[in-house]
Amino acid sequence: MTLVSIPANPVPENVVAGTIKTPDGAELRFARWAPPAGRKGTVCVFTGRSEQIEKYFETVTDLRDRGFAVAMIDWRGQGHSSRRLRDPRKGYVRDFSDYEVDVETFVQQVVLPDCPPPHFALAHSMGAAVMLRVAHAGKRWFDRMVLSAPMIDLPGRRTGLPARALLRLLRLAG
């Protein structure tokens, strides 16, 4: 499995990319970058909804410049990982807990065998919400987590009538 490189966003050097398979059959694309000299451990980057590995190349370069190895996945139904729907433009997950399976598979098949400890998680949006669930479940794969803008649903909040009308109008407008 290859990564997409363009002149404005080249693939950082020393990368290994491939796919791993979850117990329920999803194929996840991963990438890991070897640690530079004077390594400090591995930062596992978990992206937000509809993001993919390539969006984080600048972050990968910055982390490696600071002495960290980096490892990432494309979530199931996103990026270049497998999709359950025929339309490749649509992301889908049966249940949000499936993303926890993605994390466990990634940790067991890529991070623990191939990435130097200590292990850190850097997660944004949907990835941060998944990491909150992982931490709540008592998984102790990461020494530290940095969570940016976790995508959290606020139970009991209801969209007001004016906002619902505006959303309906925007949907009709395309």
pLDDT of the residue at 37: 81
Mean pLDDT throughout 120-128? Answer: 97
Mean pLDDT throughout 1-24? Answer: 94
Give yes or no for residue 164 having a pLDDT over 60.
yes
pLDDT of the residue at 132: 95
Give yes or no for residue 154 having a pLDDT over 70.
no
pLDDT of the residue at 17: 98
| pLDDT one-digit tens code per residue, 135-147 | 999 999 999 999 9
pLDDT, greater one: 89 or 62: 62
Mean pLDDT throughout 139-163? Answer: 82
- Tokens at 130, concatenated: 């998944």
Per-residue confidence band for 83, with pLDDT thresholds at 50, 70 and 90: confident
Spatial neighbors of 1 by CB under 8 A, at least 6 apart, are: 17, 18, 19, 29, 80
| CATH architecture group of domain 15-173 | 3-Layer(aba) Sandwich (3.40)
Give yes or no for residue 155 having a pLDDT over 60.
no
* Residue whose C-alpha is closest to residue 122's, from 21, 174, 51: 51
Domain assignments of the chain as residue spans, ordered by start: 15-173
Spatial neighbors of 20 by CB under 8 A, at least 6 apart, are: 27, 28, 30, 73, 105, 106, 109, 110
pLDDT of the residue at 93: 81
